[in-house]
Structure 1
């Protein structure tokens, strides 16, 4: 459907709203799109796209190690650390690795050069293909406190890609979400037609407003009943890019890990229509920026 040099972030206030459903199907109708699974703590885009992996990269974080022979116990490093990752216990510096943010500051301020750093593996990044879709996916190792370093490295790798990039963001509004949408050109806010859906929509709406990102909404699982999320969009002048109906067949395909647009022409037409509307919005934003 044509090539666009745009980075589209798809986000929602909670999991289960259809964020990945929308991301993988928009990627499939966008010809040669790049799909990026930014939910590095629980990625699931590969369940649908079933890629052939061709690349793998280990992600490591820098952690401090203290040379006891050089350390004089001056506590300069401890005073510097704002995350309380260092403490002076039993006349030696102890490192609490789980709360270290890998800033490297302790090694810089140490007057005796007693602190060096080592690479601690915390996750991996995979890349591959699903038909015409280039795929990137990150995964954080079990027990690692934060997925932000893996997410950051994933986005660094994707930065070299040209054309349409669709970022399937983590749910919520955490640091990982902010990292995922930082370089995006446009954000899609996904919501369900319920009171809780409207509440979570408001949460991500406030986030993209604070970050100054252009955005629109896609409402999922819509029926003929009351729709608080649609009302929230109307009250806050949020453009509704598309409404996906509550559909048992679509739900079945999604539950079975299928890309709907590859299985049924009806869904292909629906997501193509949403994609055309999305590109119109993105192009308008691009034109207004220039």
Structure 2
């Protein structure tokens, strides 16, 4: 089973839930797709970490061969190529590495070169295999890294928890494509309700089964809970606003490994997810 954990913004508790769900399994894989700011490894502290560099192809123009026909410029729908001062200029930062420009160039004036955009790190933390994607500073998109993260583990039979990037961008869409179930994390505020609505619309678009975990729950009105009730979203768990949990989490400790009560709470969430998936 592949579980994707989403939130409409950072700071809602997405990684808190992700690492503890993975740890609550008897054996699992944790994949950190939040490649711009991965921090699951700070909790797991994996051993025997192996690093793999992620490369993409970007075009290089041989101006001696180029006839200035602009076929490549007209082909590129991402505007990564432009004809400036009688030369084709390449904008690497918005190139999607499709390779089309080199294929359609009538003069064979465009080749491709490797460009490093980040790394994937793999290690082990007790019962959890920890796999982290990390985007190099200044790169525009982490989609190629996320694709590689998920491709490497496509044939795995272990239960997998995918810690998605925050929001509802292309990187989030890539992260949930193969998920069997999506967990939406929400805070008990009007802003939390707004951000819950964002990821709710996304999982509906992808037609994924989903449920909501309400984090930082306190007594009184909870706009996110009201939204779940109004939209018939299953509430599969509630995490209390707990100063002790906050202190343990801020120290980079996985709460299910030190607290029987929280271990039971996250195991109950997993059981609820398995019930929802089996329907």
What band does the TM-score fall into relative to the shorter chain? Answer: over 0.9
- Are the equivalent residues in 1 in contact too, given 2:68–2:88 (CA < 8 A)? yes
Out of 160, 171, 176, which is 1:181 matched to? Answer: 176
Question: Any stretches of 5+ residues in structure 1 without a counterpart?
Answer: 1-5, 285-290
Secondary structure at 1:270's aligned position in 2?
helix
Question: Any stretches of 5+ residues in structure 2 without a counterpart?
Answer: none
TM-score for the superposition, normalised by structure 2: 0.98
Distance (whole Å) between structure 2 residues aligned to residue 194 and residue 68 of structure 1: 57
Distance (whole Å) between structure 2 residues aligned to residue 270 and residue 108 of structure 1: 54
Aligned to 2:95: 100
TM-score for the superposition, normalised by structure 1: 0.94
Aligned to 1:288: none
Distance (whole Å) between structure 2 residues aligned to residue 145 and residue 227 of structure 1: 36
Q: How many residues align?
A: 279
Query: Is 1:46 aligned to 2:41, yes or no?
Result: yes
Secondary structure at 1:205's aligned position in 2?
helix
Per-residue deviation, 1:76: 0.7
Secondary structure at 2:64's aligned position in 1?
coil
- Are the equivalent residues in 1 in contact too, given 2:181–2:273 (CA < 8 A)? no
Out of 113, 120, 141, which is 1:118 matched to? Answer: 113
- Are the equivalent residues in 2 in contact too, given 1:64–1:107 (CA < 8 A)? yes
Query: Is 1:77 aligned to 2:76, yes or no?
Result: no
Per-residue deviation, 1:90: 2.5
Distance (whole Å) between structure 1 residues aligned to residue 263 and residue 81 of structure 2: 55
Deviation above 2 Å: which 4+ runs of structure 1?
Answer: none
Deviations 1:64-110 (A, max 9, x none): 01112211111111111112211222222111111111111110110
Using the TM superposition, name which of 179-188 and 51-60 deviates more.
51-60
- Are the equivalent residues in 2 in contact too, given 1:136–1:158 (CA < 8 A)? no
- Are the equivalent residues in 2 in contact too, given 1:9–1:184 (CA < 8 A)? yes
Secondary structure at 1:31's aligned position in 2?
coil
- Are the equivalent residues in 2 in contact too, given 1:53–1:126 (CA < 8 A)? no
Distance (whole Å) between structure 2 residues aligned to residue 283 and residue 175 of structure 1: 28
- After superposition, residues 185-200 of structure 1 pair within 5 angstroms as 185-200=180-195
